[in-house]
Each structure stands twice: as C-alpha cells, then as structure tokens.
C-alpha cells in the first residue's frame, strides 16, 4: 500500500507540472464541494462525541415521554385521578410532540439545528422539573404536555444535526446507530424505576408529600440536561451554514473538526474554499406575524412539490403504520405477559388468553386503588426487551452497508409477517413472547425510514421534512396505544390477520422508497482517501463501503 504522504506529494507534483507554478494554484484554489470537504475532515473523536450528544437528545425524548407510564400506580395515591384523567395524562406528552414537531422543523431550518435544540431542551427541562411538584392532576397533565411540546426538537432535529456533520461514507451508519439510543432509553427509564420507586420517602416539600414518583420524574430530567450541556459545546452544522451563505464560518467549523479528529493544526486542512449552496431562509427575514406565517408556508410547501409529493406521502404513511404497530403492542405488552403468566406454564394460544380478559373491569379495579408496593418484574421484562432491541440496532448498523436500507427494511417486514402468522398457532410461552417481541421490533424500522428521508430532503428543508414525518409517526403511536390493545382483547384473531395485511402493505410501500443508487453516490478521490487515511487515527477509524 502506498504511503499516504507520498500519494499527496505526487498529486501536488503533477498539479505543479500541469498548471505551472505552485504559487498560482494556491492563489486560485478549486472550490471543493461540501461532500469533498466533509470527507476530508475524517471520522474520529469529534464524530463519536457528536454521536453521544445526539444520542442523549434522542434518549431524552423517550425517557420523558415514557416516564409518565411508569409512575401511574404511585401517582394515584397522591393526586387521585379518574380513569379518564389517567388516559389524558398518558397521551399528553405524545400530543405535545405531535403538535410542535412542525414548528421545531421550521425553527431548525431557519434558526439553526444546534440553536433550536439548545432552547428546546432548556425549556422542556424546566417544564419537566415543575411537573414533579404538581399539586393536582391537571397541573401534572399541563406540564407533561409542555414537556413533550418542547422536547420534540430532540426527536427529529438530531437526524439533521448528526447527518450534516458526516460524509456519504459514514452518514448512514452513524444515523442508524443514533436511532439505537431510543432503545437505550427503554433500558434507562425502567432501570431508574426499579431503583427509585420502591423507596419509602417521608419528606415534606412545599407542603406536599414528596413521594418516590416525584423523585423519578426529577431523575429522568438528567438525560435532557446532559444533552443540553453537550449541545452547548457543538457548533452549528457546516452544511447549514453553507446553505445560509456563511461560507467562511462553515470552513472554520470544518477546520475545527479536522483538527479534533486528527490532532493536527487547523491550518493543515487541505480545503481552502467550499462551493456555496443556496436555498436557505433565516429568521432575520421575519418582521411580523404575516412574515412568519409566509416563511412557515414556504418551508412546508417544498415537501409536497410534484417531484417529492409521492415520496413524502409514502414515507409518512410508512412511519404512521410502523409506530402504530410498535407502540400499540408495546403499550399492552406487560398486560399480555401478566395474562400469559396466569396460565402457570400451560401451553395456550395467545388469542385464547386475550379473549378471556376483561379490559374494562381491570381498568376500573386499577383506577379505584393505588399501590405503594412496587412490582418490578414488569420493568425487568421491559429492560430485557429493550436490550434485544439494542442488539437489533447494532446488527442493522453494521449490515446496512452490505444489504442496503430498503433491502434491510423489507427483510425485517418479512420476518414480522412470519411471526404474525405464527402467533395464530404457537402455544409455548417462550415462543409467543419471542414472536411478539419481533413484531414490536418493527419500530426499529422507523430509524431506517428516517435515514432514507434524511438523504431525500435537501438541506434547506431537511429538518422540516424530518420533523414532519416524525410528527406523523408519533401520531400513529398515539392512535395505536389508544385503540390497538382494546381491539386485540375484543377480536384477537381478526386483528392479527389485519396487522399481517398492514405489514404486507408496508413491504409494498417500502419497495417504492427513494434511495440513492450506489453508482450515483459521490465517492472521494484517491487524494481525498489518502488524506483521510493520513489524518484519521486508526483507533477512531470506521470502515464503511
């Protein structure tokens, strides 16, 4: 293998022979494209730090949203909510995410990805802390809604933030790994519940009994606060700066990334000029309410241009169905496990068990009692399932370069179909649990679809597009968590066949998802590869096709 420094010297020598004197070339360097420039920064310390920070943002969303479902029994002792109020509380955070996603996408495309995330995480953390001191159920509902409203920026903006710091060679893998932090949240939240909820706390704060469920809500804020500290240390994405016409600032960010990854001086970064991109808008263009409305409209309409209309609708439909299935089953999974457990190990068809369960009477019994004693077995099952999901994401991340995003997506759909059919005939407890876990794991495919969408939308509407499709996905989660479980308990067999038909539809729609052909993806030149090899520490190198 040629020495990288030798390759670079040869390239310079040939350039001098063809163009004359080296001084003339340095005076008028050829502008690099953004993909060339970001590839020359290498992949190293900066990108691993970026992955951790973006992952904490993603974790923060899931922890804050699902945290409420873990405190329902203990919260009832202090606030004494009705059954309807409990239902409103359970969906308040999701509703906040759905209603604010569009606005967060607009702000991210006009104000900046990092800036939007800083303010969103700060305000959501304040709302979450206040909710822990709620004196009645409606105060808790309002502030959990506000927490979801503002933290939604950490859901979709991070895809754009993470992806725009990467070149083509590493972008897909890192965004896929980013999606895996959702599963880490599903481990963190139940683990905190196991450690905190069983505690007997007799402290009185501000005249109220400061129960363990309030401590758990405060503990969950630690993830968004850590993410906020990390985001404060990150620069704005160089691609966003370039689209905004701030080429000099973009080049400075690229130099700092190069220096962070390689340990060399920023002046050694070989790019002297990056070709400007156009199409971005800024909040400086807003001088009144009508200007703001017009700007939001101009950011949203491009998602539905004729060239993008079909793909936008297709992606939204896929995300809605994926989260409808995953969240709808996950919401009732502990209840299904409890019912299966009452059979004392007897082999019984799943639908036979579910159809003998009266969900209404069970809900009324739970609403009329509060539980001081905490049964942690459900939380332990959730941790095991989440750990399985993490493994699945890691597998996705390291085979996606070989299989391709669409092929991997449809392969998992086929596996889900097999499990849905098996649930009609399998009687063994372990096999039923495995099949249900695979069906719930279809939610992991949402990350693959988001990766495809991130590459599909151009920079100036990228965050808006990501937030819009994630908004539709979360809407599917709200619908699924409220109706799918009740349908399963009422008509198990027909509903499972209907879910199979939905997955077949998903597989068909997935075939038409947009994806860049490998031959069309820009590959760095031999010189670029040599520089990357020379400036990136082997410890931090990521091999990707």
- With beta carbons less than 8 A apart as the criterion, state whether 463 and 307 touch: no
Q: Which two tokens stand for residue 256?
A: 């700092």
Write out pLDDT tens, residues 303-356: 888 888 899 999 999 999 998 998 888 777 767 776 776 666 566 788 887 776
Residue 372, CB-side half-sphere exposure with 13 Å CA sphere: 5
Question: How many helices and strands (H and E) does the chain possess?
Answer: 26, 2
Q: What CATH topology corresponds to 301-359+380-515?
A: Growth Hormone; Chain: A; (1.20.1250)
pLDDT at 344: 62
Task: For residue 508, give every residue at least 6 positions away whose Cβ sits within 8 Å of its Cβ, in sequence order, or none.
Answer: none
Give the pLDDT confidence of 386-399 residue by residue, as tens digits.
888 778 777 877 78
* Main-chain phi, psi angles of 104, to 5 degrees: -65, -40
Does the fold of domain 301-359+380-515 match that of domain 30-278? yes
3-state percent helix, strand, coil for the chain, nearest multiple of 5 = 75, 0, 25
DSSP class of residue 278 equals -
Q: Kindly report the pTM of this predicted structure.
A: 0.70
DSSP-based three-state secondary structure for 182: helix
What is the distance of C-alpha 159 from the center of its chain? 7
Which DSSP letter does residue 305 get?
S
How far apart are alpha carbons 279 and 461 in whole angstroms? 9
Instruction: Return the beta strands (E) in 307-426 as ranges.
Output: none
Q: State the Cα torsion 464-102-445-416 to the nearest 10°.
A: -140
pLDDT tens, residue by residue, 250-307: 889 999 999 988 888 888 888 888 877 655 555 445 444 565 566 667 767 778 888 8
3 state DSSP class of 255: helix
Query: Per this entry, what is the length of the chain?
Result: 545
DSSP state of 70: G
pLDDT at position 326 is 86
Q: With beta carbons less than 8 A apart as the criterion, state whether 471 and 450 touch.
A: no
Query: pLDDT means per 10 residues in the chain (545 residues)?
Result: 44 46 49 82 89 90 84 80 78 82 78 88 94 90 92 76 81 77 84 87 72 90 93 88 83 90 87 70 51 66 84 92 86 73 69 70 51 70 80 76 81 91 86 86 81 80 77 82 79 89 92 66 39 32 32
- Give residue 12's pLDDT: 45
Domain spans of the chain? 30-278, 301-359+380-515
User: What gap in Å lies between CA 335 and CA 140, rounded to an integer?
Assistant: 25
Structure tokens at 65: 């949203």
Fold of 30-278: Growth Hormone; Chain: A; (1.20.1250)
DSSP state of 491: S
């Amino acid at each position: 293998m040629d020495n990288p420094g030798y390759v670079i010297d040869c390239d310079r020598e040939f350039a001098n022979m063809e163009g004359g004197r080296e001084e003339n070339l340095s005076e008028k360097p050829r502008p690099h494209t953004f993909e060339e420039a970001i590839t020359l920064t290498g992949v190293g310390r900066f990108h691993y730090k970026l992955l951790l920070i973006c992952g904490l943002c993603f974790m923060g969303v899931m922890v804050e949203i699902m945290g409420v479902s873990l405190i329902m029994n203990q919260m009832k002792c202090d606030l004494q909510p009705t059954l309807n109020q409990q239902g409103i509380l359970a969906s308040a955070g999701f509703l906040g995410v759905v209603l604010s996603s569009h606005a967060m996408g607009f702000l991210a495309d006009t104000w900046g990805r990092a800036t939007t995330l800083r303010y969103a995480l700060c305000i959501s953390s304040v709302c979450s802390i206040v909710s822990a001191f709620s004196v009645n159920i409606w105060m808790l509902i309002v502030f959990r809604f506000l927490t979801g409203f503002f933290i939604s920026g950490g859901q979709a903006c991070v895809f754009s933030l993470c992806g725009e710091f990467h070149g083509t060679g590493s972008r897909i893998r890192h965004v896929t790994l980013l999606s895996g932090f959702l599963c880490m949240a599903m481990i963190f939240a139940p683990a905190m519940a196991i450690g905190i909820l069983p505690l007997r706390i007799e402290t009185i704060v501000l005249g109220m009994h400061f129960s363990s469920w309030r401590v758990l809500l405060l503990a969950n804020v630690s993830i968004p606060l850590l993410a906020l500290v990390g985001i404060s240390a990150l620069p704005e994405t160089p691609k966003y700066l370039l689209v905004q016409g701030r080429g000099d600032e973009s080049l400075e960010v690229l130099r700092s990334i190069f220096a962070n990854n390689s340990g060399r001086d920023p002046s050694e970064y070989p790019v002297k000029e990056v070709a400007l991109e156009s199409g971005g808008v800024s909040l400086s263009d807003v001088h009144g309410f009508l200007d703001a409305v017009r700007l939001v409209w101009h950011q949203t309409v491009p998602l539905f241009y004729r060239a993008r209309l079909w793909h936008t609708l297709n992606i939204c439909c896929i995300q809605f169905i994926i989260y409808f299935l995953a969240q709808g089953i996950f919401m009732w999974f502990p209840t299904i496990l409890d019912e299966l457990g009452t059979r004392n190990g007897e082999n019984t068809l799943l639908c036979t068990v579910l159809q003998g369960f009266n969900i209404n009477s069970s809900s009324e019994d739970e609403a009329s009692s509060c539980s001081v004693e905490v049964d942690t077995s459900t939380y332990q099952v959730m941790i095991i399932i989440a750990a399985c999901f993490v493994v699945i994401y890691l597998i996705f991340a390291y085979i996606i370069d070989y299989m391709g995003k669409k092929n991997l997506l449809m392969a998992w759909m086929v596996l889900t179909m097999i499990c849905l059919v098996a649930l009609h005939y399998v009687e063994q407890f372990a096999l039923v649990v495995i099949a249900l876990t695979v069906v719930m794991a279809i939610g992991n495919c949402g990350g693959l679809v988001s990766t495809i969408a991130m590459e599909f939308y151009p920079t100036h509407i990228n965050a808006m597009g990501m937030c819009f499709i994630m908004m539709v996905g979360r809407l599917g989660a709200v619908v699924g968590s409220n109706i799918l479980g009740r349908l399963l308990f009422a008509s198990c067999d027909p509903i499972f066949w209907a879910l199979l038909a939905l997955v077949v539809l998903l597989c068909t729609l997935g075939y038409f998802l947009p994806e860049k052909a490998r031959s069309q993806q820009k590959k760095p030149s031999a010189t670029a590869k040599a520089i990357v090899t020379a400036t990136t520490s082997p410890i931090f190198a990521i091999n990707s096709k």
